[in-house]
């Protein structure tokens, strides 16, 4: 592995402060890991599965003994998991029962533009909440009231055609200027896609195919989430100014909505779909056995599906919105052994993520074959369009090529299905994310890609001062989409731009 030295010497969280909870932090490894419910279709046709989700306020018990108000898909955090099977179109009808406008984005999805969750394609709040104060300022922007397209003021049907890769996607809120606040309150869930090739591999499946949503939070003394005010509905943290805001990190690490949980496992292989759904925090994950020896992961997938071949990784650096599919083989252990997932970039309470306890001896017929999928290499050619995107931290804003997000301005018009070479240049550290496209990392500072750049990506971490060259393959769905920093506070403060597929 050659990472050119560009990732290892810099702390990807430097400059970002961790909020301190006002509660006594709960003990670690006491809460059981929960697996988000798999959503059942409300209706099926020969080629389409229809789902219904109501976005609603709910009370959750996250910290034992405290109640936390959340915003949840079907009232849960994480939201229910949607599984998209081979050959199936998925239609999700979302109803907004929250006091604010919402937007649903399928992160990593290949979707028609009107189902992508453009940041102003609002589902309006339930009428009982009256007119939301920010709405007049957004007058003139599309509000989504085309009944023929399954859109009314409070509901919207999102149409997800069969996806090109079997992988770990996720859905989350994407409302312009308020994504951070909404996701922090709980609006995030998994959307997992399968295909026939993947099924034939014999990878761990069923109860041994486990999504892990890692997200940090801080808690107020009453149990509510602590978040600096960007949203009138949120309580405020005095003294936090937009200009000094570099991102929100909490001191409690949640996995699938539980603090530092523990999972009982069999002596078998498990596939874990690790998603970093944190607003701003990057993690360096490692596995340690009882004697704190590092035992490593077998990486099998990246953002957009399986790698060509399994890749042993000592640690995994995962920035906001990235996904790493890994296999951990607990067959190497005996009942009673404990394996702890730690965060080498954390300190104190954030240095630990969760624990596995080997609870049962079983037999296991799963495999990790040496060939997982075929990934066609993209090599730069002189014919490819080249663009440079400068990510810049200003005094009171976060910009791309000198602009804060402007829904009326297109930074790039790209032909449908084309591949372009984009260079991301940055004076701070940012997870770069693009919609409706898939990427290969070509180089970092002119050197070979890093150890975490394998496979198809939709989110790529860019270190402070780094130049990252990406080959971006755009989908054939035409229309207006966005690319942005996936540090959600940076995104909300303007670090986002349009491109058009033509």
Which residues sit at the interface with Cu ion, rule CB under 5 A? Answer: 430, 485, 487, 490
Q: Which is nearer to ligand C2O, 170 or 219 (CB)?
A: 170
Which of the listed partners (ligand C2O, Cu ion, none) does 355 bind, with a CB threshold of 5 to 8 Å by partner kind? none
CB of 479 to ligand C2O, least distance (A): 15
- Residue 456, both tokens: 């198809």
CA dist 494 and 308 (Å) reads 36
Cβ pair 33, 255 in contact under 8 A = yes
Handedness of CA 54, 56, 59, 62 (dihedral sign): positive
Neighbours of 491 (CB within 10 A): 26
CB of 144 to ligand C2O, least distance (A): 18
- Strands 209-217 and 269-276, by their bridges, are parallel
Q: Which is nearer to ligand C2O, 60 or 321 (CB)?
A: 321
Q: Which of 364, 358, 372 is nearest to 307 (CA)?
A: 372
Which of the listed partners (ligand C2O, Cu ion, none) does 321 bind, with a CB threshold of 5 to 8 Å by partner kind? ligand C2O
CA dist 480 and 500 (Å) reads 4
The HSE-up count of residue 296 (CA atoms within 13 Å, CB side) is 9
Burial class (CB in 10 A: 0-12, 13-18, 19+), 86: middle
CA dist 133 and 173 (Å) reads 19
Cβ pair 323, 301 in contact under 8 A = yes
Q: Which is nearer to ligand C2O, 12 or 109 (CB)?
A: 109
Which of the listed partners (Cu ion, ligand C2O, none) does 88 bind, with a CB threshold of 5 to 8 Å by partner kind? none
CB of 451 to ligand C2O, least distance (A): 23
CB of 228 to Cu ion, least distance (A): 16
Q: Which is nearer to Cu ion, 432 or 481 (CB)?
A: 432
CB of 391 to Cu ion, least distance (A): 6
Q: Residues in the site for ligand C2O, rule: CB under 6 A?
A: 105, 107, 172, 174, 321, 433, 435, 482, 484, 486
Which of the listed partners (Cu ion, ligand C2O, none) does 271 bind, with a CB threshold of 5 to 8 Å by partner kind? none
Compute the CA torsion angle 178, 125, 224, 137 (nearest 10 deg): 40
Which of the listed partners (Cu ion, ligand C2O, none) does 174 bind, with a CB threshold of 5 to 8 Å by partner kind? ligand C2O
Which of the listed partners (Cu ion, ligand C2O, none) does 191 bind, with a CB threshold of 5 to 8 Å by partner kind? none
CB of 448 to ligand C2O, least distance (A): 27
Q: Which is nearer to ligand C2O, 62 or 482 (CB)?
A: 482
- Residue 217, both tokens: 């939070």
Cβ pair 266, 360 in contact under 8 A = yes
Q: Which is nearer to Cu ion, 12 or 72 (CB)?
A: 12
CB of 124 to Cu ion, least distance (A): 29
Q: Which is nearer to Cu ion, 304 or 490 (CB)?
A: 490
CB of 197 to Cu ion, least distance (A): 35
Question: Concatenated DSSP letters for 389-444?
Answer: EEEEE-SS-EEETTB---TT-EEEEE-TT-EEEEEEEESS-EEEEESSEEEEEEEE
Compute the CA torsion angle 425, 490, 299, 370 (nearest 10 deg): -50
Please report which helix (H) or strand (E) contains residue 56, including its range: strand 48-60
Long-range contacts of range 293-297, CB-CB < 8 Å, 24 or more positions apart? Answer: 295/332, 295/339, 297/324, 297/326, 297/327, 297/328
Which of the listed partners (ligand C2O, Cu ion, none) does 269 bind, with a CB threshold of 5 to 8 Å by partner kind? none
Which residue is closest to ligand C2O by CB? 107
Which of the listed partners (Cu ion, ligand C2O, none) does 105 bind, with a CB threshold of 5 to 8 Å by partner kind? ligand C2O
CB of 180 to ligand C2O, least distance (A): 11
Question: Concatenated DSSP letters for 377-388?
Answer: -----TTS-EEE
Q: Which is nearer to ligand C2O, 98 or 103 (CB)?
A: 103
Task: Give every strand in the sheet of 459-462, ordered side by side.
Answer: 410-414, 496-501, 479-485, 430-434, 459-462
CB of 495 to Cu ion, least distance (A): 5
Which of the listed partners (Cu ion, ligand C2O, none) does 487 bind, with a CB threshold of 5 to 8 Å by partner kind? Cu ion
- Residue 105, both tokens: 């984005």
Q: Which is nearer to Cu ion, 440 or 490 (CB)?
A: 490
Q: Which is nearer to ligand C2O, 107 or 269 (CB)?
A: 107
CB of 351 to ligand C2O, least distance (A): 26
Q: Which is nearer to ligand C2O, 163 or 267 (CB)?
A: 163
Which of the listed partners (Cu ion, ligand C2O, none) does 430 bind, with a CB threshold of 5 to 8 Å by partner kind? Cu ion
Q: Which is nearer to ligand C2O, 231 or 266 (CB)?
A: 231
Return phi, psi of residue 275, to 5°. -120, 130
The HSE-up count of residue 256 (CA atoms within 13 Å, CB side) is 20
CB of 488 to Cu ion, least distance (A): 9
Which of the listed partners (Cu ion, ligand C2O, none) does 485 bind, with a CB threshold of 5 to 8 Å by partner kind? Cu ion
């Amino acid at each position: 592995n050659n990472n050119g030295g560009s990732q290892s010497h810099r702390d990807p969280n430097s400059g970002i402060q961790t909020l301190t909870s006002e509660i006594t932090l709960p003990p670690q490894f006491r809460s059981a890991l929960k697996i988000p419910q798999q959503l059942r279709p409300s209706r099926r046709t020969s080629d389409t599965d229809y789902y219904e989700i109501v976005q609603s306020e709910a009370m959750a018990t996250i910290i034992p003994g405290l109640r936390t108000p959340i915003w949840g898909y079907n009232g849960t955090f994480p939201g229910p998991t949607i599984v998209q099977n081979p050959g199936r179109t998925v239609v999700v009808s979302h109803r907004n029962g929250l006091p604010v406008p919402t937007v649903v984005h399928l992160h990593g999805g290949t979707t028609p533009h009107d189902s992508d969750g453009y940041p102003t394609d609002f589902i309006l709040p339930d009428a009982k909440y009256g007119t939301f104060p920010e709405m007049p300022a957004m007058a003139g922007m599309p509000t989504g009231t085309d009944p023929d397209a399954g859109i009314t003021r409070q509901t919207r049907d999102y149409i997800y055609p069969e996806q090109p890769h079997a992988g770990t996607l996720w859905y989350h809120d994407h409302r312009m200027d308020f994504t951070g606040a909404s996701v922090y309150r709980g609006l995030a869930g998994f959307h997992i896609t399968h295909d026939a090739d993947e099924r034939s591999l014999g990878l761990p499946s069923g109860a041994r195919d486990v999504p892990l949503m890692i997200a940090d939070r801080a808690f107020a003394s009453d149990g509510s989430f602590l978040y600096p005010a960007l949203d009138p509905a949120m309580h405020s943290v005095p003294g936090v100014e937009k200009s000094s805001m570099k991102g929100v990190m909490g001191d409690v690490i949640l996995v699938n909505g539980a603090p530092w949980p523990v999972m009982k496992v069999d002596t078998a292989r498990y596939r874990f779909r690790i998603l970093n759904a944190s607003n701003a925090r990057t993690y360096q994950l490692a596995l340690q056995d009882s004697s704190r020896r590092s035992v490593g992961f077998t990486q099998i997938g990246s953002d957009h599906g399986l790698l060509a071949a399994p890749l042993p990784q000592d640690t995994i650096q995962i920035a906001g919105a990235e996904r790493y599919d890994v296999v951990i083989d607990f067959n190497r252990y005996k009942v009673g052994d404990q394996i702890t997932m730690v965060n080498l970039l954390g300190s104190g309470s954030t240095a630990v993520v969760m624990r596995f306890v080997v609870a049962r001896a079983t037999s296991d017929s799963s495999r990790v074959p040496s060939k997982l999928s075929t990934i066609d290499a993209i090599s730069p050619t002189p014919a490819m369009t080249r663009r440079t995107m400068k990510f810049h931290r200003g005094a009171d804003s976060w910009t791309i090529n000198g602009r804060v997000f402007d829904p009326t301005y297109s930074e790039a018009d790209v032909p449908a299905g084309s591949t372009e070479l984009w260079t991301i240049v940055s004076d701070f550290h940012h997870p770069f994310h693009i919609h409706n496209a898939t990427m290969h990392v070509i180089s970092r500072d002119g050197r070979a890609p890093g150890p975490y750049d394998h496979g198809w990506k939709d989110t790529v971490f860019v270190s402070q001062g780094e130049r990252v060259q990406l080959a971006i393959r755009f989908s054939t769905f035409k229309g207006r989409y966005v690319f942005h920093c996936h540090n959600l506070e940076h995104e909300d403060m303007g670090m986002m731009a349009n491109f058009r597929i033509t």
